[in-house]
Structure 1
Amino acid sequence: MAKNIEPTLKLISTYLQLEKSAKFVIPNYQRAYSWGLDQCDKLWQDIEAFRTSESDDPYFFGTVIVDVSDSKTFSLIDGQQRTTTFLLLLKALLVRLNEVIPKISNDEESEPLKEGLKDNRKKIMGILYQAEAEDIPAMIKNPSSMQGIVILENHSINELYKDEVAKILAAVDFMDAEKHVAKLPRKQRDNKYTHHFRNFKFFYKELEKKDGSELNGFAKNFLGKCQIIEIRSWEVAQAITMFNSLNSTGMPLSDADIISAQMYSKSEDKTQFNTEWEKINHLVHELSHQKMVDMNSVLQQFMYIQRAKNNEFDASTPGLRRYYTEINSALLDQPMQLCADLLKIADAWDAIKTHPMVKLLLKFNENAKLFLASYVYRYDVAQLTDAIITDICECLLRLFVLLELDDTAYSSAKYKAFLFKENIRLVDAEIDFNAIEQDFNQHIGNEKNWRSEAVAEAIWVYEKNALVYLNEYLYAKEKGLPFDFADNVNIEHIMPSSGNNITSIQTDAGIEDKEEFKALVNQVGNKILLEENINKSIGNQWFKTKKQKTVSEKSGYKDSQYHIAAALQHYPKDVWEKSDIEAATDKATQRLIDFIFMQ
């Protein structure tokens, strides 16, 4: 007969002290380790405040729930974030003890402190390496013996760095840990490390500030006075239910965590599901680093696709959790099919993420992703041609440019309601693109929604930068030239908006009023795309200087890959004045109006 759950108040050090060969396990359905420096700092401050209070009472750090149906495996149902963090803190403390102990004098006065530090070190090594007291001296002399001892095993399908804790715990010292942990691509400084190492480093650096006596006091308090309630369950079947309903402290579970847990619980072949989910998770993780989509947004996009397929055009949208677990829970009954659907969306984003028109569209509004995803879902990735992506992006761009210029919010009927209704047609592969384009033409051309004169006026007073990218695209299209832009492209003010020469430039331009000057230099006609290195080199130079130089000299417009900048080398004047900005703004405005209203 199965036992009931069993709660026990324990010291954290007792909770973490497992029998030889026993281990904590993070189950397949759990979330990835996601505690950041904010959570670690709060934990640290709580411990420090308790330590300095000199209270005789213990300090309580919440509840953890473990499945112990296997006597050698402590499966973490609730509390994996804290358990992982406690182990990282203990390792940081152990590294500092190893650094400090040899520096304590061997005189009679220092002996109690040194023995206290050694005693705390023994307790920590007993926890982290399941070492008996008599084995510890040999382990200290031969640190390599600590490798291969795993007390936390991560099976989570959402965790990309499953062995990160093991690498840190096996390290001889801080430098050894830093050498062996994972390094994230395209990241700088501490951002190149995982949460695991950043948190370990945080604790290590805080402990580095303490002398031997303070270190001893910290260790005694954490090991001897900090407590949790451990709730043990002997029924594996309770795991998913408890996981879905309990999260006693720390960061709340995301919708994706809950949904993936439900998918796992309903899968017939859990090994196959794990394989497929990890494939999706790795790809989406990369896309998230590139600021394209995360798992929640992929789930949201598929929800939009499903609602459109079911002819739902109500612009009010349910939460992800409610949609997948209540409204359309049948999706979770076929987890492998849902995996395939989500992977198809992720693969499409991976294929189109660097397309110039996708990058241009996303300069305007993130909501465009929902409807772009709906349309490209029609196609297999191999079918996504340049023409297909350009056509749909131009269509969406026209509407989102209007939103950029409008005082009306996205939630109005002109935008959200129209797009929700149109989404039913976007997902339907039987509906030709020309019919979709016609829908946009009729909607945008309806004078009850927009008048071209009012839009033109809005362009003239527009001071942000998204239209600068679109103006470059439309100019390139008009001239039959290729279009793209680098992630680090700069927005160049042809007439500088600041700098040492600004008073002279303002005077030469015939502008006396400072407010008029500020408005003028921020008009779309005074802004162009320009390479970062060129922009830095020309600074706030005179127009004649800017247009004459070359890229090889890193000092001018002449050989820029951006076509409006390159064209300025042939500008008939050597002075860029108020009339030139107005003329350029007028041309840009006409270009934009023609594009928006298909004139």
Structure 2
Amino acid sequence: MPGMNFNTTNNTFRQLMGNGLLYRVPPFQRDYSWSNDEWDDLWQDITSLGTGDAESSHYMGYLVLQSSDSKRFNIIDGQQRITTLSILVLAAIALLQELAQADETNLDDQKRAEQLRSSYIGYLDPVTLIPQAKLSLNRHNDRFYQNYLVPLERLPQRGLNRSEHLLRKAFNWFRDRLKADIGTKGEEIVRFIDSIVDLIFFTVITVTDELNAFTVFETLNARGVRLSATDLLKNYLFSVVSKEGAHTTELQNLEERWEGIVGLLGSESFPEFLRIFWNSRHKLVRKSHLFKTIRRAIVKKGDAFSLIRELDTHARIYAALRNPQESSWSRKERDYLRQLQMFNVRQPLALLLAAYNRLGEENREGFTKILRTIAVISFRYNVICNHPSNEQEKIYNAIAQKIFSGTFDSAGNIIPALQPVYPEDRIFRTAFSEKELRTTNSRNKKVVRYILFAIERHCSGSTFDFESATYSLEHILPEHPENGWETFDDQLHSRCVYLLGNMTLLATGENRNLGNQSYQEKRTIYSLSEFLITQGISKHFDEWTPATIRSRQSWMAKQACSVWHVSFS
């Protein structure tokens, strides 16, 4: 990541918490949410360290910190793990204090408790008993953590929010586990804590500001490590609002809207929605530049409130576009959205978001026409021609901007603007004539079924459910040929078996009975099929060769030009 101001180290829990540094969960970071499953997984991992064939250390994953002075750190990602480990240490301290209180002459356990506290938790002011903790939690959790957990006061059970209940339960859960599995001898409790703090380690990434943190998140997420860029953006927006002195009720309203959006979409889907929303009204922004762009645009309290209100409205539209089963869709709209989902294309979503916002309520017929046009273009451009999507997305984005600005306000001026991404018949027919889809891939198998059923409907007028298990996909030249297919050597078989021209439809029972029989044996069954395109194989081809496969696929390509067609005139 050239040009970024950050560093990466591997640190044990002792190195992190035993060095006089201070850690803070930003006020608007998500609340504590771990429960029994996560506590038990962690406990099993750390109690098995060094025993039998178990690992000698336990990797806790990435810890992303933000700091400008290398003394005070905001925990951008990893607060659940750090908080839980701190609660585990507090549970151990509580047990040591219980042992010391039970025996007034037991000074050793009191000293042990004080040592653990000063090393990993912080200290209590001897006069006021106010804690000076190494860790501070977010605005919903810190009061409970500082006032009850850190000083080990009696924990209240009523009047707590959900995450405070979880903090209380976590403390009790680890105290019970320590008693049951480690014992009630002070030296054993301390020996256990003293060993695990050196065996638990994190990969610590320290950045100087939110922009670098966001870039780290995007890079790690691309490598399969899920970090919460959603929380990072939330912290930024709420910090903008807080700087101008927002009232408590304003912050509460803002948070309720935010949680509603993330709850609807899920925290992992939110960043993709955010980019699509932004691109539905602004110049195209790539994922890597999105946070920087938003930070530049959202600088005032009013900007943040306006953005979240718009996100709240559009999140519902986006969720519906991603869910063909949404009850508000008509049958046709549901079919087109299912097709886009099956084709795995997302490039049109910003345009569709803008189009629905402009037309969806007042001119539903116009929106449906746009949706059908997008589905046809996606099939031609993305599935069959396999053209690069970068230029396509730029055109979609330019149209979305014009819809948002009001320049385009009807299907009559939106659809013609889509013509540059509509492969003309000659190009589409050529690509279709050569198309190969390996049906070992489940998505490809679904797409092939969709193609064959659509051509069948075009030729016979009969409509079948292409997802029904009543019908199955038949490879005329079998995927695993036996007797009767000697003319196809391995190389020729590999080139022909997944061509569209080699595939057709049969009733599932018929297909199962056919197995890997020769073409002449299959031909008799094909002639009796309920599918016109399958009957045609028997009628038009006396033998099955590479040439006949190509011939049939050319015929299919001609039909496809009529099936997937848009008239721009």
Could you tell me how far apart the structure 2 residues matched to 1:215 and 1:497 are? 66
Q: Which of 500, 503, 508 in structure 2 is aligned with 1:527? A: 503
Q: Deviations over 1:322-361 (max 9, x none)?
A: 11101x2258633343223223332123334122212212
1:419 to 1:63, Cα distance in 2 relative to 1, 3 A? closer
Could you tell me how far apart the structure 1 residues matched to 2:165 and 2:363 are? 37
Deviation at 1:164, TM superposition (A): 5.9
Per the alignment, residue 431 of structure 2 pairs with: 458
Q: Deviations over 1:388-420 (max 9, x none)?
A: 3464243353256324444753234xx344333
One-letter amino acid of the structure 2 residue matched with residue 340 of structure 1: R
The question of whether the paired residues in 1 share the 8 Å contact of 2:64 and 2:76 is answered with no
Could you tell me how far apart the structure 2 residues matched to 1:224 and 1:460 are? 63
1:487 to 1:361, Cα distance in 2 relative to 1, 3 A? farther
Which residues of 2 match residues 133-532 of structure 1 at below 5 A?
Answer: 219-222=193-196, 254-267=228-241, 268=246, 269-285=250-266, 294-307=269-282, 312=283, 319-326=289-296, 328-329=297-298, 333-352=302-321, 353-354=323-324, 355-362=334-341, 363-379=343-359, 388-389=367-368, 391-395=370-374, 397-398=376-377, 401-406=380-385, 408-412=387-391, 415-427=392-404, 430-441=408-419, 443=420, 452-464=425-437, 465=444, 466=447, 468-473=449-454, 475-476=456-457, 486=467, 492-495=473-476, 497-499=478-480, 502-507=481-486, 511-527=487-503
TM-score by length of 2: 0.56
The question of whether the paired residues in 2 share the 8 Å contact of 1:259 and 1:324 is answered with no
Could you tell me how far apart the structure 1 residues matched to 2:398 and 2:64 are? 47
Per the alignment, residue 106 of structure 1 pairs with: none
1:479 to 1:261, Cα distance in 2 relative to 1, 3 A? farther
The question of whether the paired residues in 2 share the 8 Å contact of 1:65 and 1:79 is answered with no
1:26 to 1:527, Cα distance in 2 relative to 1, 3 A? farther
Could you tell me how far apart the structure 2 residues matched to 1:535 and 1:32 are? 57
The question of whether the paired residues in 1 share the 8 Å contact of 2:350 and 2:400 is answered with no
Q: Deviations over 1:45-83 (max 9, x none)?
A: 9x879x9999xxxxxx989899xxxxxxx9977751431
The question of whether the paired residues in 2 share the 8 Å contact of 1:494 and 1:527 is answered with yes
Which stretches in structure 2 are left out of the alignment for 5+ residues?
1-10, 19-23, 68-72, 96-108, 122-153, 183-187, 203-207, 325-333, 438-443
Could you tell me how far apart the structure 1 residues matched to 2:509 and 2:191 are? 57
Could you tell me how far apart the structure 2 residues matched to 1:527 and 1:88 are? 61
Deviation at 1:455, TM superposition (A): 3.3
1:25 to 1:439, Cα distance in 2 relative to 1, 3 A? closer
The question of whether the paired residues in 1 share the 8 Å contact of 2:88 and 2:175 is answered with no
1:92 to 1:530, Cα distance in 2 relative to 1, 3 A? farther
Is structure 2 residue 559 aligned with structure 1 residue 591?
Answer: yes
1:318 to 1:28, Cα distance in 2 relative to 1, 3 A? closer
Which stretches in structure 1 are left out of the alignment for 5+ residues?
1-8, 17-23, 55-60, 67-73, 98-115, 129-145, 156-161, 178-206, 209-213, 229-240, 289-293, 550-555, 559-563
Q: Deviations over 1:214-237 (max 9, x none)?
A: 999654412589799xxxxxxxxx
1:451 to 1:568, Cα distance in 2 relative to 1, 3 A? closer
Could you tell me how far apart the structure 2 residues matched to 1:83 and 1:173 are? 17
Q: Deviations over 1:75-113 (max 9, x none)?
A: 97775143145268779999xx9xxxxxxxxxxxxxxxx
TM-score by length of 1: 0.53
One-letter amino acid of the structure 2 residue matched with residue 86 of structure 1: L
1:385 to 1:417, Cα distance in 2 relative to 1, 3 A? closer
Could you tell me how far apart the structure 2 residues matched to 1:384 and 1:484 are? 29
Q: Deviations over 1:294-333 (max 9, x none)?
A: 11111101211221xxxx4x6878711111101x225863
Three-state SS of the structure 1 residue aligned to 2:483 is helix
Structure of higher RCO (CA pairs closer than 8 Å, 6+ residues apart): 1
The question of whether the paired residues in 2 share the 8 Å contact of 1:493 and 1:527 is answered with yes
Three-state SS of the structure 2 residue aligned to 1:377 is helix
Could you tell me how far apart the structure 1 residues matched to 2:262 and 2:544 are? 54
Could you tell me how far apart the structure 2 residues matched to 1:461 and 1:88 are? 62
The question of whether the paired residues in 1 share the 8 Å contact of 2:436 and 2:498 is answered with yes
Could you tell me how far apart the structure 1 residues matched to 2:273 and 2:300 are? 15
The question of whether the paired residues in 1 share the 8 Å contact of 2:425 and 2:561 is answered with yes
Question: What is the percent sequence identity of the aligned residues?
Answer: 13
The question of whether the paired residues in 2 share the 8 Å contact of 1:405 and 1:455 is answered with yes
1:147 to 1:401, Cα distance in 2 relative to 1, 3 A? farther
Three-state SS of the structure 2 residue aligned to 1:378 is helix
One-letter amino acid of the structure 2 residue matched with residue 28 of structure 1: F
Deviation at 1:435, TM superposition (A): 2.3
1:428 to 1:470, Cα distance in 2 relative to 1, 3 A? farther
Could you tell me how far apart the structure 2 residues matched to 1:581 and 1:304 are? 44
Could you tell me how far apart the structure 2 residues matched to 1:364 and 1:333 are? 37
Could you tell me how far apart the structure 2 residues matched to 1:471 and 1:296 are? 36
Deviation at 1:467, TM superposition (A): 5.6
The question of whether the paired residues in 2 share the 8 Å contact of 1:496 and 1:521 is answered with yes
1:324 to 1:255, Cα distance in 2 relative to 1, 3 A? farther
Three-state SS of the structure 2 residue aligned to 1:492 is strand
Three-state SS of the structure 2 residue aligned to 1:469 is helix
The question of whether the paired residues in 1 share the 8 Å contact of 2:501 and 2:552 is answered with yes
Deviation at 1:44, TM superposition (A): 6.9
Could you tell me how far apart the structure 2 residues matched to 1:318 and 1:517 are? 44
Deviation at 1:272, TM superposition (A): 0.8
The question of whether the paired residues in 1 share the 8 Å contact of 2:476 and 2:502 is answered with yes
Could you tell me how far apart the structure 2 residues matched to 1:31 and 1:529 are? 53
1:516 to 1:301, Cα distance in 2 relative to 1, 3 A? same
The question of whether the paired residues in 1 share the 8 Å contact of 2:366 and 2:411 is answered with no
1:432 to 1:33, Cα distance in 2 relative to 1, 3 A? same
Alignment RMSD: 6.3
Three-state SS of the structure 1 residue aligned to 2:280 is helix
Deviation at 1:463, TM superposition (A): 1.4
Could you tell me how far apart the structure 2 residues matched to 1:244 and 1:170 are? 38
1:374 to 1:456, Cα distance in 2 relative to 1, 3 A? same
The question of whether the paired residues in 1 share the 8 Å contact of 2:474 and 2:505 is answered with no
1:491 to 1:515, Cα distance in 2 relative to 1, 3 A? farther
The question of whether the paired residues in 2 share the 8 Å contact of 1:374 and 1:423 is answered with yes
Deviation at 1:271, TM superposition (A): 0.8
Deviation at 1:503, TM superposition (A): 2.3
